[in-house]
Amino acid sequence: MRLTSRSWPADRRLPASAYRRLEPAALGWRRVASRRACTPASQHRRSTMAQDAIALLEADHQRVEGLFREFKSAGGDPAAKLHLAQIICMELTLHAMVEEEIFYPAFATAVGDEQLVEHARKEHQRVKELIARVPQAENLDGAIEAIWRNALEHIEEERRDIFTKAKASGMELATLGGRIQSRRAEVATTVQEA
């Protein structure tokens, strides 16, 4: 799901200047040499020093948890809440994408637990369905709260079940981390060009 200003109903859209805050640089992405070399600033490393996949995914969890806390503390500021809701949806969409494309297939191969992967994919699907409803939600707080409850349950299960098994399996977590970073860079390039 691609989130743009056109993804939201006209009466729920922020001014164009607010969407610039959703551009890669505003979200912690930075340009390095070329568009193909863009990576999240918080995860910028030389390609030879790829981070562990679990560390990257856990950093996503922590970033989203922080965004949810920020959303709750935004109080009665509807523009700030809408902006944060869009960022939360974008972050969760990106996180689910790299897990489903890269981490889960490697986990299923290494651990052989297809049932656990299928359960995680179903949880992702549920969160994606909730995200798809956000632009039309009459109660933004309620919509984000529903996403948070589902995401938190998934995060806790992932930490407890998937990450524990992945660490014990001998998976090539650094290699997977490099692939995740590359995929994020590719997405950053796409977002910049959009």
**Per residue in 34-64, pLDDT tens?**
333 334 444 444 444 568 999 999 999 999 9
Of 25 and 150, which is predicted with more confidence?
150
pTM: 0.74
Q: For 15-34, write each residue's pLDDT tens digit.
A: 454 444 444 444 444 333 33
Give the burial class of 139: count Cβ atoms within 10 A of its Cβ; 0-12 exposed, 13-18 middle, 19 or more buried. Answer: exposed
Secondary structure (3-state) at 34: strand
Q: For 120-137, write each residue's pLDDT tens digit.
A: 999 999 999 999 999 999
Say whether pLDDT at 118 is over 80: yes
Which spans in the chain are helix H? 16-20, 53-73, 78-98, 104-111, 114-133, 140-157, 164-169, 173-193
Domains of the chain, residue spans: 5-193
